[in-house]
Amino acid sequence: MVGAVETGSKQIVNTGRMEMFGMNRDRDARLEISVYNGSDIAYVEAGLDWMAGEEIYFAPTNHQYEHSEYKTIVQYESSTGKLVVDTPFEHYHFGEAATHKDAYGGLDQRGEVRLLNRNIRIVGDQETEGEWGCNILTTDRTDFGGNQRKGYAKFDSVEVAKCSQKNTFKAAIRFENTGTNSEQSFIKNSVVHDSEAWSLYISNSRDIQVESSDFIGSKQVGVNLRSITNCRINDIFVADVRSRVNEAGDNFVDKEACVAYCSFFEPNRCQGNTFTNSIAAGCVYSGFVAPGHTCDDDSSELFRNNVAHSSQRTGAHIYPDPANPTSATCYQGSHFSAYKCREGGITTMYNTRE
């Protein structure tokens, strides 16, 4: 049925108010010294609130997009930034003093390190349930009495782990057919990791804000945005997205990327959105598949100040925005950086009139 929202099992379904506010944590760091195979020590910024027993993620920094590593902290020295982890590193991860970016126009290429834990946790049980984790759905609906139920969700400093459901569109966190209420849904300072499918799916929704949050360890797509309006995506980190086990038969090619920005489905018209200051790392196929903006519009925040690195193929694939009537004549991708991508930083491949 057109417009229907699929539910199913192992779900938290929200058609009203859902609010989760955890303790604010130091979410991220960069490597201050390079890490090599066989070492169990890394140096990051001093003064973080990280503690022994917490889980952390190290992003790949080279052309090998699968060189992500997950570790548990054995010791962190707040005064020096020294990290001792539970097992030796298998791969190289680049580190350097923060001033290194001055030689690259301000582009920081040091390895990202992300904290995977928060004190509010929603964790799926994949050990007993296989690859069928939980998913959290916020949507609007009409109840049997004809009343409109409008859902909104507020997540701040929340951890969602081992969720989503294999080979489905049931991402760990879903906003579908929602956003027409008076309060804005948001995800802030949160982390979604170890997903069996997508980590975040926003579909046919409006006025959703996703900010300063991490989506690490997904299958096929990390963040999928479909037919959204007036959504604000800023300072997110999407990493370690790998191919799913494809059960569709021979010669079937999956659509894959860390971020599918209004590009996975057709038709897929998006209006009034911004996507800024974000990073995609360790991505199957491409970091971002994203729309271009109007030519010569240097102020556009449709897709701006984003970075991709260590992708299997490209940093970004920029396509003409079907919601922009001028894109058939000319479209532009700008204010984007990429490095360590096997087949190039950016691709377009579309003919326009100019």
Give per-residue pLDDT as tens, 293-306: 999 999 999 999 99
The architecture in CATH of the region 28-115 reads Beta Barrel (2.40)
Tell me if residue 129 falls in helix, strand or coil: helix
Tell me if residue 98 falls in helix, strand or coil: helix
pLDDT of residue 251: 64
- Beta carbons of 133 and 123 less than 8 angstroms apart: no
pLDDT mean across residues, the chain: 93
Tell me if residue 104 falls in helix, strand or coil: helix
Average pLDDT, integer, range 119-130? 79
- Beta carbons of 75 and 52 less than 8 angstroms apart: yes
Mean pLDDT is highest, among 130-134, 272-276, 347-351, for 272-276
Burial class (CB in 10 A: 0-12, 13-18, 19+), 203: buried
pLDDT of residue 250: 64
Q: What's the token pair of residue 220?
A: 């096929």
Q: Is the pLDDT of residue 141 over 70?
A: yes
End-to-end CA distance of the chain: 40
pLDDT band at 3 (very low <50, low <70, confident <90, very high): low
Q: What's the token pair of residue 175?
A: 């906003």
pLDDT band at 180 (very low <50, low <70, confident <90, very high): confident
The answer for residues whose C-beta is within 8 angstroms of residue 42's C-beta and 6 or more apart is 31, 33, 35, 58, 82, 83, 85, 89, 93, 95, 113
Q: Is the pLDDT of residue 1 over 50?
A: no
Q: Is the pLDDT of residue 214 over 60?
A: yes
Q: Is the pLDDT of residue 4 over 80?
A: no
Q: Which helix (H) or strand (E) holds 219?
A: strand 208-219
Q: What percent of the chain has pLDDT over 90?
A: 80
Task: Name residue, tokens 């952390």.
Answer: 56
- Beta carbons of 68 and 58 less than 8 angstroms apart: yes
pLDDT of residue 295: 93
Q: Is the pLDDT of residue 178 over 50?
A: yes
Average pLDDT, integer, range 62-73? 97
Interatomic CA distance for residues 278 and 7, integer angstroms: 30
pLDDT band at 345 (very low <50, low <70, confident <90, very high): very high
